[in-house]
Amino acid sequence: MDDKLTILAESLPKAMLQALNPETIGAVPHTLFRGDLIVISRFPYKIGRESRVTKIDGRLERIERLKKDDSPPNNDLYLVDRGHCLNISREHFQIEKRENGYFLVDRGSACGTKIAGVNIGGDDRGGSAELHDGDIIAVGAVGTPYIFRFITFDEYCLVRREA
């Protein structure tokens, strides 16, 4: 029974990002979605710009990301930035789970990120801020179309029933 509970606990989402508009949905690979939700199964969860794109019929489209070795990828989530001015850096931010909560850590991005209206990072300076359940994350400069809601499941836990 303990093995099954361990397997279940490890396979459940640790947190999720909810894409809040069509532009954000269009920036995320469709295979990562469960509805409009992106599962975060481990931390740190790294997010950055997809740099492997091509123009097809005037639109930026993702090119298949081929893996040539066993090195870990730079990001867990690659977003396609379709704007004329880029909002998303190649290594933009990561979400960390620490003993005292969740944190968004800027990875030296050019445009930074807003959490609940507060600027984090930008100008390649880094920075971090605590994340709370329901916080709105806007990736990039003022007016960015890439907006997520952060969702946690800390109030729910897997309880072992005694036989």
Q: What is the mean pLDDT of the chain?
A: 84
Burial of residue 34 (number of CB atoms within 10 Å: 0-12, 13-18, 19+): exposed
Compute the distance between CA of residue 92 and CA of residue 111 in angstroms, rounded to an integer. 9
Tens-place pLDDT, residues 48-59 = 988 765 666 766
**111: which residues sit within 8 A by CB, 6+ positions away?**
86, 87, 88, 89, 122, 140, 141, 144
- What does the pLDDT average to over 78-89? 82
Q: Which range among 28-37, 69-78, 154-163 shows the weakest confidence by mean pLDDT?
A: 154-163
Cis peptide before 44 (omega within 30 of 0): yes
Q: Is 80:53 a contact under the CB 8 Å cutoff?
A: yes
Q: For domain 2-152, which CATH number applies: 3.40.50.2300, 2.60.200.20, 3.40.50.1820, 3.40.50.12280?
A: 2.60.200.20
- What does the domain layout of the chain look like in residue ranges? 2-152
The 10s digit of each residue's pLDDT in 136-157 is 999 998 899 999 999 998 776 5
Query: How far is C-alpha 124 from the chain's CA centre?
Result: 19
Q: pLDDT per residue over 1-37, tens digit each?
A: 678 877 877 777 889 999 999 999 999 988 899 899 9
* 114 touches 120 (CB < 8 A): yes
- What does DSSP assign to residue 35? T
